[in-house]
């Protein structure tokens, strides 16, 4: 079984912490305007990683405020994985050279395989991950606003063949609405491809986190449930450290 990692999430739009319901830019809830303080809180509670999403970049909006927020988050000392709108060499290079541990590529990984090849060759597979958003079995792109004809397993097999090792998988219909994690599709992807799959979207309880861990997945991203107090990061980190009671 892989080591299991809890990834508390900071979703950024215009430099502020937000969550979207089902990836919809018009269904946004704001949770704060100090991303560095939030990252520090996660670190103080015992987190090793933080999952940072550049929603402005994913939607083609000006992302400078989010990059400024990322720079502030990096000063906290957590390992950061970062994605959203990384669609060319410069946008991949920038966060990695700022000190991000790993970037995840979504739209570009689907539509520009050559960028994935370049990134792996330059930075190695530990620092590059795929970010797959799925709605009704099909892979979504452009901030999860556009559908593609690719199925989850087709995309996963392509990424594995390119040399990727990590994948974040989000069930778009469950994301940000607390309807439970789609563990089955994540397990199917990990089993079929050998990728280390991190489940994202829909966590609403400790039972969800436990199901992800017991399924043998590589980790889980948790956002809204932490911000709304449905679960605590301390509880989750007990599971990360091996306790499953």
Give the model's pLDDT for residue 137: 81
17 exposure class (CB count in 10 Å sphere: 0-12, 13-18, 19+): buried
Domain boundaries, the chain: 5-240
Tens-digit pLDDT profile for residues 183-233: 999 999 999 999 999 999 889 899 999 999 999 999 999 999 999 999 999
Q: Which residue has the higher pLDDT, 223 or 25?
A: 223
Q: Which residues contact 133 (CB under 8 A, 6 or more apart)?
A: 23, 106, 139, 140, 141, 144, 170, 172, 175
pLDDT band per the 50, 70, 90 thresholds, residue 244: very low
Work out the burial of residue 188: count CB atoms within 10 Å of its CB; fewer than 13 is exposed, 13-18 middle, 19 or more buried: middle
pLDDT at 179 over 60: no
Backbone region of residue 203 per phi and psi (left: phi > 0; alpha: psi in -120 to 50; beta: other values):
beta
Residue 1 binned pLDDT confidence (cut-offs 50, 70, 90):
very low
Mean pLDDT of the region 160-169: 96
**pLDDT at residue number 135:** 85
Name every residue whose Cβ is closer than 8 Å to that of residue 224 and which is 6 or more positions away in sequence. 19, 29, 176, 178, 203, 230
| 0.85 surpassed by pTM | yes
CATH class of 5-240: alpha beta
Q: How confident is the model at residue 138 (pLDDT cuts 50, 70, 90)?
A: confident
Is residue 176 predicted with pLDDT exceeding 60?
Answer: no
pLDDT at 9 over 50: yes
Q: What is the pLDDT of residues 106-128, one digit of tens each?
A: 888 899 999 999 999 999 999 99
pLDDT, position 245: 42
pLDDT of residue 223: 92
At 174 the pLDDT is 55
Predicted confidence (pLDDT) at residue 134 exceeds the cutoff of 70: yes
Question: Rounded mean pLDDT of the chain?
Answer: 90
For residue 147, the model assigns a pLDDT of: 85
């Amino acid at each position: 079984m892989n080591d299991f990692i809890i990834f508390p999430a900071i979703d950024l739009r215009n430099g502020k912490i937000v969550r979207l319901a089902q990836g919809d830019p018009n269904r946004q809830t704001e949770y704060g305007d100090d991303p560095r303080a939030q990252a520090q809180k996660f670190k103080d509670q015992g987190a090793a990683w933080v999952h940072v999403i550049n929603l402005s970049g994913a939607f083609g909006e000006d992302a400078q405020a989010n990059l400024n927020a990322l720079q502030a988050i990096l000063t906290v000392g957590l390992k950061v994985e970062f994605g959203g709108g990384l669609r060319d060499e410069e946008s991949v290079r920038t966060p990695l050279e700022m000190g991000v541990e790993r970037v995840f590529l979504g739209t570009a990984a689907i539509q520009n395989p050559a960028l994935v090849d370049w990134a792996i060759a330059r930075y190695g597979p530990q620092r590059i991950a795929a970010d797959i958003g799925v709605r009704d079995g099909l892979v979504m792109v452009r901030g999860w606003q556009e559908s593609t004809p690719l199925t989850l397993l087709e995309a996963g097999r392509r990424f594995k063949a390119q040399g990727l090792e990590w994948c974040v998988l989000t069930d778009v219909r469950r994301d940000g609405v607390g309807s439970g994690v789609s563990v089955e599709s994540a397990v199917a992807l990990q089993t079929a491809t050998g990728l280390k799959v991190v489940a994202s979207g829909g966590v609403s309880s400790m039972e969800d986190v436990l199901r992800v861990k017991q399924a043998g997945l590589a980790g889980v991203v948790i956002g809204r449930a932490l911000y709304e107090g449905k679960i605590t990061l301390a509880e989750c980190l007990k599971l990360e450290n091996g306790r499953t009671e």
